[in-house]
Structure 1
């Protein structure tokens, strides 16, 4: 009776390794983008209770101080808009991050978050 071996060939193992490697490479490109977005969301949430944050100029200053601490460079002043609401302002951040992937292919992330800022003014 003949016993037949079963398993992966070297070629199929290399193909699986290439797919897993590419997936890890893409993940390494995406992770910093989402980590930065988490820092943006956290900074905006901490601004909500900050005294004087209902003033857009003060809110921008406090927000970018927090972004400097997190070494975030993707959000610019042009990406931030304010709209008046009852009791304060709503801060809207919408920005795009583009990272090179392979050759002329890029990974593009569009991120958007809003936060109501109703911190009482300190005079």
Structure 2
């Protein structure tokens, strides 16, 4: 009785390893971008929960938000990316920014992030 061996060859293993390595590399480039976005959203929610956040003037509100962003190490959000809009129930804070990371050689990956938070007179409730 003859037994036939089956399995993955060294070449196939190298190809699988290269593909898995490439996706891990992509993940290592994308994960910090999304982690920063969740830190931005968390800072916005924390600011909205602060008493009197809806009554602050926009410059003071930006300073307070950017203090939170500095603690979270969210460096890609610039002051011009943050806007405030008065609504009937309070103020709507809008953060719209872009993150560009080098991927391979002259290829970049771009993440466009957009978050909105209501600042009501009841402290973000």
Tell whether the structures are fold-level matches, with TM greater than 0.5.
Answer: yes
Query: Matched residues in 2 for 1:84 and 1:69: separation?
Result: 27
Residue of structure 1 equivalent to 2:89: 87
Structure 1 residues 29-65: Cα deviation after superposition (integer angstroms, max 9, x where no partner): 1110000000000010111121231122222111100
Q: Which runs of 5+ in 1 are unaligned?
A: none
Q: Which runs of 5+ in 2 are unaligned?
A: none
Residue of structure 2 equivalent to 1:19: 19
The within-5 A match list for 1:94-113 is 94-113=96-115
| Superposition deviation, residue 119 in structure 1 | 4.3
TM-score in terms of structure 1 length = 0.92
TM-score in terms of structure 2 length = 0.91
Higher mean Cα deviation, 44-53 or 60-69? Answer: 44-53
Residue of structure 2 equivalent to 1:67: 69
Query: Matched residues in 2 for 1:112 and 1:51: separation?
Result: 24
**What SS does structure 2 have at the residue aligned with 1:45?**
helix
**What SS does structure 2 have at the residue aligned with 1:60?**
helix
Structure 1 residues 77-108: Cα deviation after superposition (integer angstroms, max 9, x where no partner): 11111110123210011100000010001111
Query: Matched residues in 2 for 1:72 and 1:37: separation?
Result: 8
Query: Matched residues in 2 for 1:120 and 1:2: separation?
Result: 80
